[in-house]
Amino acid sequence: MVLERVGERLRMVEPPVLAAAPGQLLVRVLACGVCRTDLHLVDGEVKIPELPRVLGHQIVGEAPDGRLVGIPWLAWTCGECEYCTTGRENLCPLARFTGRDVDGGFAEWTVADERFCFPIPEGYPALQAAPLLCAGLIGHRAFRMCGVAQRIGLFGFGAAGHVLCQVARHEGREIHAFTRPGDEAAQAFALGLGATSAAGSDEAGPASLDAAIIFAPDGALVPVALRAVVPGGTVVCGGIHMSDIPSFPYADLWQERMLRSVANLTRADAEEFLALAPQVPVTTHVRRYPLEAANDALDDLRAGRFTGAAVVVPDHS
Ligand SMILES: [Zn+2]
Ligand SMILES: [Zn+2]
């Protein structure tokens, strides 16, 4: 399923026969998670250097030796720059990303640099493992930036929120979910996963959270979240794109509140999170779509028509 032009639907094409170069794995795709970033790519809010492109960066597939491997957003880094050599390869200016700079997983087959592929933890079928690869591990990177915060607000309770809620509960922390106003299904879903409270983002109160993570792409939530955290609290923006942040009084940032973004992932993040997930254990709630219905999955994500994560599955028969 190929994006040929920004703003258009993905189109099913007969793919070229892929071959792995030295250092690459030819992977038979079994499942690929759908991420909000895919919407930003389709909409042109995140630029794609070269089209056409196969999107999809939460890939679980079978390597030639039969192993189940995961292929995340980070596809390649230079290994030599000041970021790569200081444990921050997520910020490498030459980094390539799966489903943006190289073809991704909305396909039957894909190739990937084997240094950026990860073994899928035992006990996770492909369908359930797919959302761990972005929602899970970039979500977890955002979660770690909250430090020792005990009361954590999640603004937007989708694929990342539903994974993080389980990790946070496992660590004995409180999750307070804020959804689109009136989204009772998402609020019930959050409570069912152990959230301490769930409400619309219009109901966020003043200064009682130790930290907040904003997964929804709505910049207007930034001042809302800042007002909801205590002095010294952190607000983490977990998405790759947000609408503009409205101006807000300095008093909302004052008292050593911190505002930061989280970008991409390092391979160490992937190793850490994929080791942690089975210990919790994280259970993902997925809605399955056949590969040819990838556009429906994107539409449903945009409209908020499901709880949990969407995953597309190719039919290899
Ligand atoms: Zn993603
Ligand atoms: Zn680099």
Q: Which ligand is nearest to the CA of 81?
A: 2
CA of 56 to the centre of ligand 2 (A): 23
CA of 82 to the centre of ligand 2 (A): 7
Q: Sorting pLDDT into bands at 50, 70 and 90, what band is 261?
A: very high
CA of 90 to the centre of ligand 2 (A): 8
Residues 6+ apart with CB under 8 A from 214: 155, 156, 221, 222, 225, 235, 236, 237, 238, 239, 242
pLDDT tens per residue, range 71-93: 999 999 999 999 999 999 999 99
Query: Region 279-305: what's the mean pLDDT?
Result: 97
Amino acid at 60: V
Q: Which ligand is nearest to the CA of 136?
A: 1
Q: What is the mean pLDDT of the chain?
A: 97
Q: Which ligand is nearest to the CA of 84?
A: 2
Cα separations in angstroms, 30 against 154, 293, 315: 30, 15, 8
Please say if the pLDDT value at position 6 is more than 90.
yes
pLDDT value of position 290: 98
pTM of the model: 0.96
Query: Region 56-64: what's the mean pLDDT?
Result: 98
Residues 6+ apart with CB under 8 A from 100: 41, 46, 48, 49, 53, 55, 57
Paired strand residues for 60 = 31, 70
CA of 116 to the centre of ligand 2 (A): 14
Query: Region 300-307: what's the mean pLDDT?
Result: 96
Q: At what angle do helices 135-144 and 159-170 cross, to 10 degrees?
A: 50
Quote the percentage of the chain above a pLDDT of 90. Answer: 97
Cα separations in angstroms, 29 against 12, 137, 185, 314: 16, 20, 31, 7
What DSSP letter does each residue of 1-46 carry, written as one string? Answer: -EE-STTSPPB--PPPPP-PPTTEEEEEEEEEE--HHHHHHHHTSS
pLDDT value of position 16: 85
CA of 134 to the centre of ligand 1 (A): 5
Bridge-based pairing of strands 59-62 and 24-33 is: antiparallel
CA of 250 to the centre of ligand 1 (A): 32
Q: What is the CA radius of gyration of the chain?
A: 19
CA of 106 to the centre of ligand 2 (A): 27
CA of 39 to the centre of ligand 2 (A): 26
Q: Sorting pLDDT into bands at 50, 70 and 90, what band is 317?
A: confident
pLDDT tens per residue, range 16-54: 899 999 999 999 999 999 999 999 999 999 999 999 999
pLDDT value of position 210: 98
CA of 106 to the centre of ligand 1 (A): 13
CA of 181 to the centre of ligand 1 (A): 24
CA of 89 to the centre of ligand 1 (A): 17
Q: Which ligand is nearest to the CA of 95?
A: 2
Contact 211, 152 (CB under 8 A): yes
pLDDT value of position 144: 97
Q: Which ligand is nearest to the CA of 97?
A: 1
pLDDT tens per residue, range 92-129: 999 999 999 999 999 999 999 999 999 999 999 999 99
CA of 300 to the centre of ligand 2 (A): 36
CA of 239 to the centre of ligand 1 (A): 8
Please say if the pLDDT value at position 15 is more than 90.
no
pLDDT tens per residue, range 206-254: 899 999 999 999 999 999 999 999 999 999 999 999 999 999 999 999 9
Three-state DSSP class for residue 245: coil
Query: Region 180-203: what's the mean pLDDT?
Result: 96
Query: Region 283-289: what's the mean pLDDT?
Result: 98
Contact 304, 37 (CB under 8 A): no
CA of 39 to the centre of ligand 1 (A): 10
Contact 154, 135 (CB under 8 A): no
Cα separations in angstroms, 40 against 13, 246, 298: 22, 20, 11
CA of 45 to the centre of ligand 2 (A): 24
Query: Region 135-163: what's the mean pLDDT?
Result: 96
Q: Which ligand is nearest to the CA of 88?
A: 2
Rounding to the nearest 10 degrees, give the CA dihedral for residues 214, 216, 220, 223: -10
Please say if the pLDDT value at position 314 is more than 90.
yes
**Ion ligand 1 residue ranges (Cβ < 5 Å):** 35, 37, 134
Rounding to the nearest 10 degrees, give the CA dihedral for residues 63, 68, 69, 70: 140
Q: Which ligand is nearest to the CA of 80?
A: 2
Q: Which ligand is nearest to the CA of 142?
A: 1
